[in-house]
Structures are given as structure tokens and as C-alpha cells.
Amino acid sequence: MERYTLGIGLVGLPGAGKSTVGRQLARRLKLPFVDADHRIEQLLGCSIRSFFEREGESAFRDVEASVIDELTRQSASVIATGGGAVLREANRRCLRERCQVVYLYSAPEDIFRRIQHDTQRPLLQVDDPMARLRELFEARDPLYRQTAHVVVEAGTLSAPAVVKRLLAQLRQGGGQGA
């Protein structure tokens, strides 16, 4: 397996599989895996959800930007970002310039099927979670595409199948796959 000198940053909607695929990809590439949301929670000493509710989105995005900057400066690793990390231009730039960025593309309907029973996701704790996923997709899909070097269709595939497809695309030098 080839060695990566740059890290690999995974972007995509919440529930697209960034953490699950990231762990498996890191194992295959023999690289460390870092979940940016877990790193943020370690720094904050509380859940993102409670910090978000207490301090607001802007304060959360400030912490997130600091963590993205830190993680993308470290030696090669696989980084699973939070679904909203691409909302800040500085994050998109750090990821794009310092990592090989992969957009795990999933349609809102595929994500909803995958996470509809997950009560830990604040995203779904709304009256119409499907409408919320569609809103997020409309707002974020262009930002994910702008940031990514590679787009991998992840919607209906298992995590091992996504990893296999992703590795094939990385070996071919990238390309836009979705």
C-alpha cells in the first residue's frame, strides 16, 4: 500500500459515513485516524450539542476552525470532519491545501434511511428531519465539491465498499466520481 505524505480529509453531510469509513481507511493505509468532532469534545470538556446550545454556532465554529487548522498541520492521518466544517472558508482552504480531500457523497434520502433511528444526532431532533437533510444538502453540496479533490458515491454502499472505491480513485490520481 502506498504511503501518503498528506493527510486525507473526509467531508460530507452528517451521517454520510465519515467516521466509519475514516476508521477503515486509516487501518488500510496504516495511518492514524482522527475524528475532529471527538477532538473538539475533548477540548471543550462537553458534548458539541451542549456547547452549541450554550454558546451558539459562531463560538462552536471558532473552536472547530482551530481544531481543523491543528489537525491539518500534523503528519499524515485520516481526518473525519464535522458535517458543517466546510461552512467556513478558512476550513475549506486548510483542508484543500493540506490534505487530499474526499467528499463522501450521499443523497439526503440515503442518509435518512441510514440514521433515521439514531437519537444521538441533533440534526434529526426536528419536526421534519428529511426536509432538514435536504436543506443541508442544498447549502453544503457545492461547498463539499469546492473543497474536495475526490468525490466518492457513498449513499447506498457499505463502508468497506466505499473504502475500496475510494482507494481505487486515490490510486488513479483522484477524479470526480459522483
Q: What is the CATH number of the domain that holds 164?
A: 3.40.50.300
- Percent of the chain scored above 90 by pLDDT? 70
Annotation: binding site for Mg(2+): 19
Q: Mean pLDDT over all residues of the chain? A: 89
Q: 48 is written with which cell numbers?
A: 458539541
Full residue range of the structural domain in which residue 148 is found: 7-176
CA–CA gap between residue 129 and residue 123 (Å, rounded) = 7
- Quick check: is 161 in a domain? yes
- Per-residue pLDDT of 26-48, as tens digits, reads 999 999 999 999 999 999 999 98
- Quick check: is 127 in a domain? yes
3-class DSSP string for 46-83: CCHHHHHHHHCHHHHHHHHHHHHHHHHHCCCCEEECCC
Annotation: binding site: 15-20, 37, 61, 83, 121, 140
Instruction: Supply φ then ψ for residue 151, to 5 degrees.
Output: -115, 125
Annotation: binding site for substrate: 37, 61, 83, 140
- Quick check: is 1 in a domain? no
Domain count, the chain: 1
Annotation: binding site for ATP: 15-20, 121
- Quick check: is 158 in a domain? yes
**Which of 102, 68, 100 is closest to 87 using CA atoms?**
68
Q: What is the pLDDT of residue 176?
A: 46
- Quick check: is 82 in a domain? yes
